[in-house]
Structure 1
Amino acid sequence: MIADLRLLLGPDRARILTGYLAWTVVYGLLSGVAAALLVPVVEDLAAGDRDALGPHLLTLAAVTAVAAAVRYAQTVRGSAAALHTMSAMHRRLGDHLVSLPLGWFDAGRTGRLTRVATDGTMMITGIFAHLLAPLVVAVASPAAVTVALFWYDWRLGLAAALSVPVLALAFRFAAASLSRGEARNHAADVEAATRVIEFGRDQRVLRAFGRGAHGYRPLEEAIEEQRRTRRRTLAQGVAGLTVGGLAVQLAVTALLLVCVWLALDGAVTPAAAVALIALAFRFAGPLADAVEYAGAIRIAGNDLRRLTDVLREPAVPEPAVSAPLPRPGRIELDRVTFGYRPGTPVLRDFSLTVPAGSVTALVGPSGSGKTTVIRLISRFWDAGQGTVRVGGADVRELRTEDLIGQLALVFQDVYLFDDTLEANIRLGRPEATGEELAEAARLAGVDEIVARLPDGWRTRVGEGGVSLSGGERQRVSIARALLKRAPIVLLDEATAALDAENERFLRRSVRELARHSTVLLVAHRLGNVVEADQIAVVEDGRVTETGTHDSLVAAGGPYSRLWQAQRGGRGWRLTAAPS
């Protein structure tokens, strides 16, 4: 966990943790020493030895004063460490996230990241504020007492030392029980929360099939599993805490028996025996607290580890300086092989050249690898074999910001931020002039949307753009691409869910984009690609044929068959059943 905390703070702030731990250890040791110094004071009082009592009291007072000062310094540093952790946590996380490959951000990872970055934040900062210091003191103070027991009588010290391994095993069992239970609770909570969100988000579908109010089995099963998991976790936690508490009591009992034996044997005075018994309780008290703190800190450590697991994800390797771009606007995939899972390639020896300033369309059946081509060009992932070039340079030889600067992407699933319509479009190029913004909006058909919104450009679109229709969100996404004026525009099935009006705006936008950019689009509706300069048919991860619409139809190959099938589908109509 210490290594995880150092990683979270970063190399520049790791010394804060080191200093905090050092002050905490010193305070714990001084606490144990102060408790041990009570033994000679009690002996002096019982014997009435005033000459020896004075120096012993002064020594005890001095150690107590130093311990108080160290405690103050340790508390101040603990607060500073907690504040630094809170400020560093999201900054470190954000800085690292922008360095990860885009393909890393799937739905599962994003959901877990959201939970860790929200619910886990207070738990992690609580390590400094409430957990780490008591746990360190609960270990350091008994360690000092053990040394003191050796000083007073080696047999007492030996009894304390022999109890340490037993206590360590018991504490490890207790902490592991709580940690495993928390991990199961976390997984069950994530599943239940996911199902609740799904239940709320998909009410229209559920109600259409009579499942809106009750009877949604996945949600009921997730809640029931959450209940069973928490019951198992509670039982295991109680067992772990019981074992830890029993071990502490056995250690105290062993020390008491040794003290009584030494007193009966005359090795120590009765007064010293009483003081040593009190010291034995001072040995065991912090250890009893350590059982609870160890379990709590292991639970917090799980949240910390989930966060640092993200920080340990390898960043996209990139050069210090990007390679030159000898062929701006050109895209090349040279004998590329790639798969999302080992041994299961999606693209196989894939080769394609998209000339600068051209419009190239990728068509083919679902699952053939068209979207994967777009992702490799955008460097969501790196090709396993072969080379992907943008502007004549290998994408692996370009810095991320330089590569993205060459690209404008339009996806089928458009996400809009909970901001104004204008801010969402200006995301493409924040410094664009008002005239450039208006022209991009006109070409994409967004000006019509602006005209009917209550606050025009300043209308907030809601999280994900919920206040707009799917086609309107797509127009906003295309306006972004138009405003960016990137050398290359990638459109991934942008027309899949558009109606006739929105599709008309898309075609007009593509023609405008083609005036100053290379356009590569993935399309299922072949009617949208008939004017493309080049059409590439992708089947089973390979390019099976390329050419213009007319040449491919005349060739009678896969594209011709797709074309004929779609043309035949246009004549379908619903008719009444014969009476």
Structure 2
Amino acid sequence: MSATGTRAPSATLSTATAREATGWVGAHCRRAPWLTAFTVLTTVAGAALQVLPVLLLGRVVDGVAEGESSAVLVPVGAVMVAAALLGAAATALSTYLIGRLGADLLATLRESAVRAVLGMPSARVEQVGRGDVLSRVGDDVAVLSKGIRTAVPTVFSAGVLVVIATAGMFGLDWRLGLAGAGALPAYVFALRWYLPRSAPLYRKQRMAQADRAQALISGLNGIDTVRAYGLESTVREKVTRESWRVRELGVEVFRFFGRFVGRENRAEFIGLVLILVVGYALLEAGAATLGEVSAAPLMFHRLFTPLGAIMFTFDEAQKSGASLTRLVGVLKEPSEDRLVGDAAVTPPDRAPYPVTVKELTFSYPGDGEPVLWDVNLSIPAGGSLALVGATGAGKSTLAALIAGIGTPGAGSVHIGPYDLAALDEAEARALVSILTQETHVFSGRLSDDLRLAAPEADDARLRDALRTVGADGWAELLPDGLHTTVGEGGERLDVTKVTQIALARLVLTRSPVVVLDESTAEAGSEGAAELERAVRAACAGRTTLFVAHRLTQAMAADRIAVLDAGRVAEEGTHEELVALGGRYARLWRAWRQGSETDRHI
């Protein structure tokens, strides 16, 4: 909902389990078998070639100790150099291939997540809030993208190197291998302590960031409403509170990771001490050569770099894992099977329908108190009704329900002969068009942007729609007219022009009922009057419901309904409600005083 609405703060999109996320990644890798196989082969080859020089070093030490000639040792040294160079090349190729595979995975996941969000029922989007949706297709994609570029290649390559190096230690001498393996219990305990605690902590951090985004979006989208009702300090406190929550979780994550690093360092110390002690004992007993005993601690030390890389990138890997589970979770959300163009409901072109709201009660899932209580309203065919009331009164919730977004817990909403609860979203869109303050211009030609509402419309019909809302003047002055690229990368349009484009789309639709939820709230005072004229023109001959941001909008409506705590407190014309001296009259006096103050400033 907009800033004037109410939603259940606990409702969020689904989050996948670690097994489900891993299964999705595995399925993606199976769809690219050659790239996956070559990536694994180069990673293993690079790790083996990095370990080979350490093994050969033991051979050199034994050769020197036994007095072998340089003719024997020089070829060994040449092989060591060649192995190091080839290992570096294989590792570089492996890093590239992992990045390539990860980039393909991210592109597929991002497209699937966006497709899932676009196909999600509007009621679900409104329920969870745009902050959660945007944080997933925005922040989580960014986190996962960074992880794929940095953490994922490091962790995968380092993990393979750890396995190869451990096998190399056992290849030197099984007893030295067992000594090095003595550090494994300490590593395992450290990971068993860290992993079960870290994943929920990172998910909690991502959810906190989503809540912060929702608080920011709600406050900014409804900034004029916030100012009108003097709620600046309330909104600021909420944003501050959510920001501090994100900050505190960030500090907690950092401290937690520091404790994990300490446990890993203790494991390294235990392993190195065991290898030195066992190696000395074997050398004294003549059970191992000097080369083997010398190479073993170097081989174990060779583990320090990949293990350290894993530790210092595990933080990023865990964040990526948390974002992955959130993105894969979006794919589990139900979606609408049919598009608007598939709607079975086909009302007569521009024939207005009446709107009847009868004994409507609505609660968000997980909320005990209903947002709307026993609401009864009616708008005659072709008539208009304005909803006014304080923030949180339920205006946007009622507007969304009348637009077919959500299902009442009790009561009904009828558009003409149709009960909205019996229709799917495509059918509801054929009956009702909704326009909120969150208007948007997509990057591309102006004609394509307008045809989102009417794909079959020709240029003449597009120009008529622009003329209806008073946008034909500036549209004709564009470099290429209707074919001018607008939005990102094209002609930048101000708020008034963006809203006019949204209203022109509204003109192009065939829906007999229009719901406007503070659709002109973002316009400044200079463009407000112009847009209000455009709104009246776009809604002419259609049944219209306004969520009034400016009380001048309410004055222009046939009737006004005042909502208070989810109930209809007053209903009548502007003159009747002012004469009544109730809630609307007080709002009207406050509005006039505020307008006069603005004029004096």
Which one of 457, 469, 474 corresponds to residue 432 of structure 1?
Answer: 457
Q: Does 1:137 align with 2:160?
A: yes
Give the SS at the match of 1:485.
coil
1:510 is matched with which residue? Answer: 539
1:210 is matched with which residue? Answer: none
Larger mean Cα displacement after TM superposition, 17-26 or 342-351: 17-26
Q: Does 1:163 align with 2:183?
A: yes
Measured after TM superposition, the shift of residue 258 of structure 1 is 0.5
Measured after TM superposition, the shift of residue 296 of structure 1 is 0.7
Q: In 2, are the aligned partners of 1:25 and 1:136 still within 8 Å (CA)? A: no
Give the SS at the match of 2:441.
coil
Task: Give TM-score scaled by structure 2 length.
Answer: 0.66
Q: Does 1:278 align with 2:291?
A: no
Q: In 2, are the aligned partners of 1:323 and 1:397 still within 8 Å (CA)? A: no
Q: How does 1:106-505 map to 2 (within 5 A)?
A: 106-107=130-131, 110=134, 113-118=137-142, 120-128=144-152, 130-145=153-168, 147-148=170-171, 152-153=173-174, 155-170=175-190, 241=261, 244-245=264-265, 247-266=267-286, 268-269=287-288, 272-313=289-330, 315-316=333-334, 318=336, 325=345, 335-340=359-364, 342-350=367-375, 357-366=381-390, 367-378=392-403, 380-383=405-408, 392=418, 394=420, 398=424, 400-417=425-442, 421-450=446-475, 457=482, 458=484, 460=486, 467-468=493-494, 470=496, 472-494=497-519, 499-505=528-534
Structure 1 residues 348 and 431 mapped into 2: Cα distance closer, same or farther (>3 Å)? same
Measured after TM superposition, the shift of residue 483 of structure 1 is 1.3
1:211 is matched with which residue? Answer: none
Give the SS at the match of 1:133.
helix
Q: In 2, are the aligned partners of 1:426 and 1:480 still within 8 Å (CA)? A: yes
Q: In 2, are the aligned partners of 1:32 and 1:141 still within 8 Å (CA)? A: no
1:207 is matched with which residue? Answer: none
Structure 1 residues 559 and 144 mapped into 2: Cα distance closer, same or farther (>3 Å)? farther
Q: In 1, are the aligned partners of 2:507 and 2:539 still within 8 Å (CA)? A: no
Q: In 2, are the aligned partners of 1:241 and 1:292 still within 8 Å (CA)? A: no
Q: 1: distance between equivalents of 2:66 and 2:589?
A: 112
Q: In 1, are the aligned partners of 2:578 and 2:588 still within 8 Å (CA)? A: no
Measured after TM superposition, the shift of residue 288 of structure 1 is 3.7
2:557 is matched with which residue? Answer: 529
Q: 2: distance between equivalents of 1:465 and 1:565?
A: 43
Per-residue deviation, residues 91-132 of structure 1 (Å, max 9, x unmatched) = 12322221343324534753675344346523324445x313
Measured after TM superposition, the shift of residue 316 of structure 1 is 4.0
Q: How many equivalent residue pairs?
A: 529
User: Percent same amino acid at aligned positions?
Assistant: 22
Q: Please report the RMSD computed on the Cα atoms of aligned residues, expressed in angstroms.
A: 5.8
Measured after TM superposition, the shift of residue 437 of structure 1 is 1.1
Q: 2: distance between equivalents of 1:131 and 1:396?
A: 53
Q: 1: distance between equivalents of 2:448 and 2:580?
A: 41
Per-residue deviation, residues 176-195 of structure 1 (Å, max 9, x unmatched) = 9999899989989x989x99
Give the SS at the match of 2:545.
strand
Per-residue deviation, residues 127-180 of structure 1 (Å, max 9, x unmatched) = 45x31332221331244246546xx44x43442332111134456789999998
Per-residue deviation, residues 232-283 of structure 1 (Å, max 9, x unmatched) = 98888777656534532431221121011122133x14xx243143134213
Per-residue deviation, residues 28-53 of structure 1 (Å, max 9, x unmatched) = 8966996897699679967899xxx9
The one-letter code sitting in structure 2 at the alignment partner of 1:137 is: V
Q: In 1, are the aligned partners of 2:344 and 2:427 still within 8 Å (CA)? A: no
2:13 is matched with which residue? Answer: none
Q: 1: distance between equivalents of 2:589 and 2:95?
A: 78
Structure 1 residues 315 and 478 mapped into 2: Cα distance closer, same or farther (>3 Å)? same
The one-letter code sitting in structure 1 at the alignment partner of 2:312 is: G
The one-letter code sitting in structure 1 at the alignment partner of 2:117 is: L
Give the SS at the match of 1:511.
coil
Q: What runs of 5+ residues in structure 1 fail to find an aligned partner?
A: 203-215
Structure 1 residues 567 and 369 mapped into 2: Cα distance closer, same or farther (>3 Å)? closer
Give the SS at the match of 1:134.
helix
Structure 1 residues 294 and 177 mapped into 2: Cα distance closer, same or farther (>3 Å)? farther
Give the SS at the match of 2:544.
strand
Q: 2: distance between equivalents of 1:305 and 1:231?
A: 17
Q: In 2, are the aligned partners of 1:318 and 1:396 still within 8 Å (CA)? A: no
Structure 1 residues 445 and 88 mapped into 2: Cα distance closer, same or farther (>3 Å)? same
